Amino acid sequence: MTVPLSWYLVLSAILFVTGVAGVLTRRNAIVVFMCIELMLNAVNLTLVAFSSFLGDGTGQVFVIFVMAVAAAEAAVGLAIVIALFRNKQTVDLDSINILKW
């Protein structure tokens, strides 16, 4: 008797939704960025859980690719935050609206 797969999926759903709530409610660009990382990790947990329960290693390779994309996203995203901060002296997403209208 092991921990059932559905528990892992529910945990992953909770983590993903926490990330969504953070993206929708926070205004600090870096915190929003960290919430995106949290969502990526929730999906990784789903992939690993299915990989172990189905006996197929493909899910684990996918997790590595997701990590690589997350690393690339981290580098570019933080560079954008630095560039924005240099121009506006803030990371408040509500005041960054040059492209809005």
Partner 1 sequence: MTLEFLLFWFLAAMAVTTAVLMILQRNPVMSAISLIGNFFALAALYLLLRAQFLAVLQIIVYTGAIMVLVVFVIMLLNLGDERGLAERPSLRSSVGTALAAGLLLELVAILFLRTGPGLPPAMHPSSGSQGTVEAVGTAMFGKFLFPFEITSLLLLVAIVGAVILAKKRL
**Residue 19 CB-density burial (10 A; 0-12 exposed, 13-18 middle, 19+ buried):** buried
36 binds partner 1 (CB under 8 A): no
Which of 26, 101 has the CB closer to partner 1? Answer: 26
User: From the list 3, 87, 97, 99, which residue makes contact with partner 1 (rule: CB under 8 A)?
Assistant: 3
43 binds partner 1 (CB under 8 A): no
58 binds partner 1 (CB under 8 A): yes
82 binds partner 1 (CB under 8 A): yes
- Given a contact cutoff of 8 angstroms between Cβ atoms, the answer to whether 20 and 39 are in contact is yes
Name the packing angle between helices 58-88 and 29-54 (round to 10°).
Answer: 180
Counting residues that bind partner 1 (by CB under 8 A) gives 73
Amino acid at 101: W
